[in-house]
Amino acid sequence: MLTPWLTAIGRNLHWRTLIQLCAALNLCLVQNTALPTEQQSNLDQLRFVTSNAEFTLLHEMGHLLIHELKLPVLGREEDAADQLGFIGLFLIYDRQKTPDFPLRLLDVADYWRLEWQRTKQPAEEIYAWDSHALDEQRFYNIACLAYGSDPKNLEWIIQTTGLPEERAFYCQDEYEQAKYAALWFREHFKRSHQQPVKHRIQVVYDSPPYQFDGDSDLLEKVKASGELEALAKRASEFFALPRDLTLRISSCGTPDSWYNSHSGELTLCYEHIAHFKKLASQRPALILP
């Protein structure tokens, strides 16, 4: 149930308006860290980049598990991979207990808003016939799952994202449905304690492209955070993977990522990370109360 007067304020609040509202009402989940604005902005951008790199990796992990473990899929594989990726954020890191976890979920949704609303070249467009949902749909799908994961505490996601009430009404059910499927999958494919960890996902950093030189600090931050290695380790130990796999951070010439079922390689492109960073820099600053 939405707070009526909050609903009446409107669905498309600007970030700063929301933040001012949060400050006034002391509603925001994240406490004031008293960091200088620039430092906070850098942290927000790094969180946006790592959150979306993680989600992208987990989405591709979804493809990997569907193919490697013969996971039955109803509906489009791309939609299933998004749901597995989203629930994977909860399952792999148990981050719902950390203060910035809701912001990470919002980062992932907001990436699709930025993709949807930015001007693209024809080759970059996602068309109705594509195997992927439209960027706009992915934004609302992720926003719905994010809100649905904790409606009591994350009602502000409705305001922030402009998620229509007609959809929001069903989001808890959608989240529970996706979670149920992921838990079913986890129960059927998790590694038992008696099983040794035979296969692992190795993280490999190829040399970044020349154009990435200016983002070397970002690369170092991503490496130093250990996020990708931690994710690979947790996934390797959670599932009984049928073969060794590689998570390769590579230069691809395009901001993309994919899973190659022949080589068993997940490829996350430097250009994709740089793209996340570029979009993060264009996003209104998150100045938390």
Contact window for Zn ion (CB under 5 A) among 31-39, 79-87, 156-164, 241-249: 79-87
Q: Which is nearer to Zn ion, 63 or 179 (CB)?
A: 63
Rounded CA-CA distance 248/259 in Å is: 10
Q: Which stretch binds Zn ion (CB under 5 A): 22-30, 80-88, 198-206, 211-219?
A: 80-88
Burial code of 162-181, b = ≥16 C-beta within 10 A, e = fewer?
ebeeebbeebbebbeebbeb
- Cβ atoms of 249 and 206 within 8 Å: the answer is yes
Site size for Zn ion (CB under 5 A): 2
Q: Does 81 bind Zn ion (CB under 5 A)?
A: yes
Q: Which residues pair with 269 in a beta bridge?
A: 250
Question: Which CB, 52 or 159, lies closer to Zn ion?
Answer: 52
**Identity of the residue, 22 or 201, whose beta carbon is nearer to Zn ion in the bound complex:** 201
Shortest reach from residue 276's CB to Zn ion, in Å: 16
- Residue list 250-279, contact with Zn ion (CB under 5 A): none
Per DSSP, the residues of 25-47 read HT--SSPP----HHHHHHHHHHH
Q: Which stretch binds Zn ion (CB under 5 A): 39-47, 76-84, 198-206, 228-236?
A: 76-84
Minimum CB distance to Zn ion smaller for 45 or for 267: 267
Q: Between 81 and 266, whose beta carbon lies closer to Zn ion?
A: 81
Q: How far apart are the first and last CA of the chain?
A: 25
CB contact at 8 A, 96 and 149: yes
Match 């609040």 to its residue by tokens.
Answer: 13
Q: Which is nearer to Zn ion, 67 or 234 (CB)?
A: 67
| Shortest distance in whole angstroms from residue 133 CB to Zn ion | 10
Report the nearest approach of Zn ion to the CB of residue 204 (Å): 21
Which range in 18-26, 78-86, 161-169, 261-269 contacts Zn ion by CB under 5 A?
78-86
Q: Which region, judged by CB under 5 A, interacts with Zn ion, from 4-12, 37-45, 77-85, 157-165?
A: 77-85
Q: Considering the complex, what minimum distance in angstroms separates the CB of residue 18 from Zn ion?
A: 31
- Supply the minimum distance, in Å, between the C-beta of residue 78 and Zn ion: 5
CB closer to Zn ion out of 79 and 110 = 79
CA–CA separation, 13 vs 222, rounded Å? 31
DSSP letter for each residue of 206-256: PPPPGGGGGGHHHHHHHHHHTHHHHHHHHHHHHB--SS-EEEEEE--SSS-
Complete edge-to-edge strand list for the sheet that includes strand 257-260? 201-205, 245-250, 265-269, 257-260
Restricting to residues 144-173, name those near Zn ion by CB under 5 A: none
Nearer to Zn ion, 81 or 182 (CB): 81
Give CA–CA dist 14/51, Å, rounded: 22
Stretch that binds Zn ion, among 64-72, 73-81, 135-143, 148-156 (CB under 5 A): 73-81
Rg of the chain (C-alpha set): 19
Binding site for Zn ion (CB under 5 A): 78, 81
